[in-house]
Amino acid sequence: MAKYRKYLEFFGLLLLAVLIIWWFGRGLDWEQVKIAVQKSDWRLILLAGIVILVAYMWRALRWRVFLAPLVTTSFREIWIATTVGFAAILLVGRLGEIVRPVVLPMRDKRVRPAASFVTIMIERLYDLISVALLFGINLLWFTPLGSTVAELARIRVTGLLMLVLLAVAVVLLIWFRRRSASVIGWLDRRVGGQSRLSGRLKHAALSILDQLATALGVLGHVRELAPTIGLSLLLWFSVAFANLLIFRAFGLPFGMSQALFVLGFSMVASAVPTPGGGAGAFHVATAAALVLLGAGRDQAAAIAIILHLVDFAPAALFGLFYFLRGDINIARLRSLTSTSAVEHAVEDEKVVLAEGA
């Protein structure tokens, strides 16, 4: 049964995506959606696609900086791994997240799979913190059209609360990095696992914490935080600017503040592990944010569809090119993306870090 579990998970998530897309599309006037797309300025949309490719470049450069304390590798190999990985995310959703850290060691033998996996974990933390920080700061001066004084006050409070929670989360991560062994050991002793289900849940939770501790341990080896922070800001401002170009292509007079507001909604929804890069959830959340900003429902749906394509398609095209050219060994890729291979890789990095401490 375990052999087919990942296939069952995929089809379950595919069904979820279909249901969300159906819910997203019900009640829409698809003729008006089509007209909105036809009336859009495709020059701005193409320009947005180029900006998104630049954002992927910032992402690849940042990954190289994360890897620098562990191994030296070329930008070309990191670029191939990045684009192939995001092509996989577009196909199978967040389940494809595992492809990117596997492709790089396949392409460059100097890179240990363990180092590749844990630096991707660091990247996810950076992305979460970066977008939450930009979204929270933006809310402090964000002024939606037609809002009242009371609504503006609530928006400011929400932004301030997000920043406070983010600061607390960063402090907890720093504390956990220093005390991870004792925290995990204490939880292992205190949390019971009498039944089979509770035992599996306990093992999964402790495994996640263990992987987080390993990732944070690698982060401690990064001597210069400024390059990674700077590249993160360049990455997400590039994404927000590309989104802004698309809004302008559809005739919406938005500025960067509105673009960051929509980006926060899109980022949360894209974490839903449905095939198609969060398909369905991404469209619903993005369209909802646009409607809150005054866009019509049909227009918002059209923008969400194009925005999703622009955010993923440029990298996916490069990834498809590398697949067709034969740069990726499919059989080896499948073997290295198994659950046991991933767990072994992360455990291997934990041992390496412990020996180097």
Condensed to tens digits (0 to 9), the pLDDT of residues 68-79 reads 877 888 999 999
* DSSP 8-state code for residue 109: T
Long-range contacts of 200-207 (CB under 8 A, 24+ apart): 207/343
| Burial of 262: CB neighbours in 10 Å, binned 0-12, 13-18, 19+ | buried
For the stretch 177-228, pLDDT in tens is 788 888 888 877 777 666 666 667 777 677 777 777 777 766 665 566 788 8
Helical residues (DSSP H) of 191-329, grouped into ranges:
196-219, 225-249, 256-270, 275-278, 281-292, 297-325
Q: Helix or strand or coil: residue 271? A: coil
| Total count of domains within the chain | 1
Contact present, 269 and 281 (Cβ < 8 Å): yes
Once rounded to an integer, what is the mean pLDDT over residues 309-318?
Answer: 89
> Which residues have C-beta within 8 Å of that of residue 109, sequence separation ≥ 6?
none
Q: How high is the pLDDT of residue 340?
A: 47
Nearest of 172, 75, 169 to residue 129 by alpha carbon: 169
Per the model's pLDDT, the better-predicted residue between 353 and 237 turns out to be: 237
Q: Which tokens sit at 340?
A: 């046991």
Lowest mean pLDDT among 23-32, 240-249, 327-336: 327-336
The continuous run of DSSP H or E covering 83 comes out as helix 75-92
Once rounded to an integer, what is the mean pLDDT over residues 25-50?
Answer: 93
Q: How high is the pLDDT of residue 212?
A: 75
Distance in angstroms (rounded) separating the CA atoms of residues 162 and 139: 9
Q: How high is the pLDDT of residue 95?
A: 66
Contact present, 348 and 112 (Cβ < 8 Å): yes
Q: Which amino acid is at 236?
A: W
Report yes or no on 152 lying in a domain. yes
Whether the pTM exceeds 0.85: the reply is: no
* Domain boundaries, position 270: 41-356
Q: How high is the pLDDT of residue 236?
A: 95
Report yes or no on 25 lying in a domain. no
Per the model's pLDDT, the better-predicted residue between 346 and 142 turns out to be: 142
Q: Which tokens sit at 30?
A: 């698809």
235 has pLDDT over 90:
yes
Long-range contacts of 220-227 (CB under 8 A, 24+ apart): 220/177, 221/69, 221/70, 222/65, 222/66, 222/68, 222/69, 223/69, 224/65, 227/62, 227/65
CB atoms within 10 A of CB 253: 9
Distance in angstroms (rounded) separating the CA atoms of residues 168 and 205: 21
Q: How high is the pLDDT of residue 51?
A: 97
Nearest of 114, 98, 106 to residue 351 by alpha carbon: 114
Lowest mean pLDDT among 179-193, 258-272, 282-296: 179-193
Q: How high is the pLDDT of residue 63?
A: 92
Report yes or no on 6 lying in a domain. no
Report yes or no on 230 lying in a domain. yes
Nearest of 203, 212, 210 to residue 184 by alpha carbon: 210
Q: How high is the pLDDT of residue 100?
A: 85
Q: Which amino acid is at 208?
A: I
Cα atoms in the Cβ-side hemisphere of radius 13 Å centred on 183: 17
Report yes or no on 30 lying in a domain. no
Q: Tokens 């503040």 — which residue?
A: 257
Report yes or no on 28 lying in a domain. no
Report yes or no on 20 lying in a domain. no
Report yes or no on 1 lying in a domain. no
Residue % of the chain over a pLDDT of 90? 26
334 has pLDDT over 80:
no
Which pLDDT band, with edges at 50, 70 and 90, does 355 fall under? very low
Q: Which tokens sit at 129?
A: 């913190």
